[in-house]
Structure 1
Amino acid sequence: MRHTPTYILTDPDEVKRLVRENPWATFVSNTANGLVASHYPVVLEETPEGISIVSHVGRPDEKLHELGQHEMLMIIQGPHGYISPGWYANSEFVPTWNHVTAHLYGTPEILSDAENFDVLDDLVDHFEKQLPQPISLDIDENQARRIAEGTVGIRFVVTRFDARLKLSQNKTPEVVDRIIDALEGDGPFASASLAAEMRRVRDAVSTTDLTDEENHAPA
């Protein structure tokens, strides 16, 4: 990604949050036959150290990606959207696009058939638990295991990442508030999820500024 110091995200915990809240990933591999890209759901493994993600691919994607033979790029895309200069309420006329994005790098580990089924089971439970009547692979485990044979499980331990949190941090608080209001409205570029991200960052900055003022206040 473009090197933009103002927007660089370096906190692994924030990257973990991004994965939790945006579990649809793009896998990109530079193979002997050229670039290959696929899209799959992912689940963050809740470990205290590092960033570990489990997922699966449908056969024959494991061969097309040459999984386990070289480094792979996993792209996690959070909320994003068009930002109109009309929301700035000044003489600026150049629009932009706000986004939260992480590029994760690592060499996938191929899981055993048993581990793969456990990952698929956990994946279904992870999403179904939010429903009033969740479905489980336990309903027909034998059939589920036959279907699982068409997939290959992977564990993706992130060795490095390049992430951006571009949410109008270069604008004044007044402009940020106007952008949030516009995103929360009913216009063609409304995005409640992007507005929520901007509000979270804005509030975090405000809290930090208030703490700094308190720490430097005269006794």
Structure 2
Amino acid sequence: MHPNSAFRPQQDELPALLVREIGFAAIFAATPDGPRVAHTPVLMSEDNATLRFHLARGNALTRHLDGTTALAVVQGPDAYVSAGWYAATDQVPTWNYVAVEMEGIARKLNDDALLDLLDALSAHHEARIGATPPWTRDKMNPALFGRMTGAITGFEMRIAAWRPTIKLSQNKSADERERVAAGLDATGHGALARLMRHLGGDREQP
């Protein structure tokens, strides 16, 4: 989390919206073997209170995660910002990025809740890609599907703290932000440039 308050989102709903839109997170936790991280698709509850995900049973984090405080990090577009893009002198390079951190206690899901999670995940993403008809697990051999789900463990993390960072040059003037956005466009980072233009706002610092 960046310490500059200029990079805190002003819209309360924005962090959860970004989590839903990106849909993929790194899950960090301390284990007896040291800190570990796993990467997984995530599903946010409608009330933005919980995050559900699943991990392979063989993952180094899985056997230690139940009842443990975890940190989930969802990252959006990011890119280097050249100091040469500014009109002002005596500037330094920086990095613009979007990241949402969520902290909470992770709890293991039972088998029925894991199936609910898998069904909800596939339904959500099949709808996003416009699949017609959408894929559902009834297209699979039940025994094979059962063996595959037996190799994963589902978790639900109740979110106790949100720490979002939306670093989009909000500490610069509108003209300088547009120069940076143009530089990002020119270097193949159009998604980040679009976020700057839509979310950066006019919050120039004294």
Match of 1:175 in 2: 176
Change beyond 3 A, Cα 1:183–1:65: farther
CA contact (8 A) 2:81 2:94 kept: yes
Change (3 A) 1:172 1:12: closer
1:5 to partner: Cα distance: 2.0
Tell me the amino acid that sits aligned with residue 160 of structure 2: T
How many angstroms apart in 2 are the aligned matches of 1:121 and 1:64? 21
| Distance change in 2, residues 1:13/1:141 (3 Å) | farther
Q: Which residue of structure 1 lines up, in the alignment, with residue 5 of structure 2?
A: 5
Question: Equivalent residue for 1:41?
Answer: 41
Shift of 1:45: 1.4
Paired residue for 2:120? 122
Shift >6 Å, 4+ stretches: none
Alignment partners' CA distance in 1, 2:116 and 2:158: 18
State the AA in 1 paired with 2:24.
W
1:1-219 correspondence to structure 2 within 5 Å: 1-9=1-9, 12-47=12-47, 50-61=48-59, 64=62, 66-129=64-127, 130-133=129-132, 134-140=134-140, 142=142, 143-185=144-186, 187=187, 190-202=188-200, 205=202
Q: Return the offset for 1:8.
A: 2.5
1:13-61 deviation digits (Å, cap 9, x = unpaired): 11101101211100111112210111001111112xx431111111033
SS in 1 for 2:162: strand
* 2:6 alignment partner, SS class: helix
The Cα of 1:106 is off from its aligned counterpart by 0.5
Do 1:31 and 1:65's aligned partners in 2 also have CA atoms closer than 8 Å?
A: no
Q: Name whichever of 79-88 and 58-67 sits farther off.
A: 58-67
Give the whole-Å Cα distance in 1 for the aligned partners of 2:60 and 2:113: 16
Over 3 Å counting, the alpha-carbon distance change for 1:205 and 1:175 in structure 2 is: closer
Residue 77 of structure 1 aligns with an amino acid whose one-letter code is Q
Cα displacement string for residues 164-214 of structure 1 (whole angstroms, at most 9, x for unaligned residues): 1111011111111111222223x3xx2111112111124x549xxxxxxxx
1:55-110: CA deviation from partner (whole Å, max 9, x where unpaired): 11110337655112320111111111111112112323411000111211001121
- Extract unaligned runs of 5+ from structure 2: none
Distance 1:11 1:31, change over 3 A: farther
Instruction: Name the TM-score, length of structure 1 as normaliser.
Output: 0.83
Unaligned runs of 5+ in 1: 207-219
- Range 13-22 or range 87-96, more displaced: 87-96
Letter in 1 for 2:192: L
Letter in 2 for 1:4: N
> TM-score, normalised to structure 2's length?
0.88
Change in Cα spacing, 1:141 to 1:118, as seen in structure 2 (3 Å) is: farther
The total of aligned residue pairs comes to 200
Q: Which residue of 2 aligns with 1:214?
A: none
Confirm or deny: 8 A CA contact 1:52 1:158 kept in the other structure.
yes
